[in-house]
Structure 1
């Protein structure tokens, strides 16, 4: 199926740099990172979260690159698999064609997911349509969804102000998140 995804041309005429689906998945994966869409740097490298956002996300998770890019441990399925282009306030939203085309089919191949990390407003809208007023409210609600699903702000450096205004995020949520990640990765049957 990944070969089919990588050959996708559904948005060929509307993507500024053309299609280049960037994702990571394996039936053994136990953690799902549901992000937004690759940025330009990630599009060029073809490696998910191969940028400053990825560095921050790996720090939040308490894992190194080797674990993060182990497809048998972590699946990375953004809402849009290709770089959507840039607008006035940053990258454009994920293309709306992508999630309906691929998401359910790929998720059906990931039966072992124990923890889903919903990252950013577009993933939040997909997983919890209309449930939260804003991303901050959803992130604060983590005790009501853990240990199976945790909403995170996007780890982009553009969110430095949000992180500064919400110190509880790094002091209360991140330690719990790191503990949960470590617990899943230590379980028998983990790669």
Structure 2
């Protein structure tokens, strides 16, 4: 079981345990097993005030071991208004996806949803060990379901539209949350249909990021 004490040593211990985790590959109680060797990807931090909570790594991230090391990451960094050095600096950002390993592809060639085992086993321990987190960027519906207890709506679009109300609330785990769509190229049409995202939400997002990383 993970160590849930909130200090630097336990955070380092958690990171080691997560990187060594093979639960979804080996445990018979969690079918179907992961179709490839696990490679958990996350960045924990004892000092960052912002946590990026995405869905799960894609194939390119699985191959490199670097979170958001793909076109989605490029778009996300553009949304945040930061360069790669700032983005990957653990003094500024923790990166904690809902699933730590690439889950494989579905029948249509898209990525499968994040494995449930990760959140069940690790997430409470991780956020207990990072009490300094003030803001979580909840990317996609899976992260929003876990991180938003107050203000989440019936679907992703309505939840993101409700960002002002959600951001104004401190969630039960002690931090504020800003909901975002996934920065995947598959959401380009969504961005075109929802211009308020770039016109209203992104300026607030960049202001929050600038204040936390300056």
**Normalising by structure 1, what TM-score?**
0.93
Q: How many residues align?
A: 186
Contact 1:25 1:72 in 2 (8 A): no
- Pick aligned residue for 1:6 from 6, 13, 19: 19
Deviation at 1:185, TM superposition (A): 1.4
Structure 2 unaligned segments of length 5 or more: list them: 1-13, 27-32, 169-175
Is 1:101 matched with 2:124?
no
Equivalents in 1 of 2:92, 2:112: separation in Å? 29
State yes or no: 1:60 paired with 2:79: yes
Using the size of structure 2 for normalisation, the TM-score is 0.83
Deviations 1:90-141 (A, max 9, x none): 1101111111111111111111111110000111222236941110001011
Asked if 2 retains the 8 angstrom alpha-carbon contact of 1:32 and 1:76, the reply is: yes
2:89 & 2:121 partners in 1: Cα distance?
25
Which structure ranks higher in relative contact order (CA pairs < 8 Å, sequence separation ≥ 6)? 1
Contact 2:24–2:117 (CA<8 Å) still a contact in 1? yes
Q: What residue is the counterpart of 1:141 in the other structure?
A: 162
Query: Is 1:31 matched up with 2:50?
Result: yes
Alignment of 1:1-191 (within 5 A): 1-13=14-26, 14-87=33-106, 88=108, 90-128=110-148, 131-146=152-167, 148-186=176-214
Partner deviation per Cα, 1:56-107 (whole Å, 9 max, x = no partner): 0000001110010011210000010000001126110111111111111111
Gapped regions of structure 1 (runs ≥ 5): 187-191
Larger-gyration structure (1/2): 2
1 CA distance for matches of 2:18 and 2:179?
26
Distance in 1 (alpha carbons) for counterparts of 2:167 and 2:203: 13
* Residue 45 (structure 1) shift: 0.5
> How much is the aligned-residue C-alpha RMSD, in angstroms?
1.4
Partner residue of 2:29? none
Which stretches of structure 1, 4 residues or longer, exceed 2 Å deviation after superposition? 127-131, 145-148
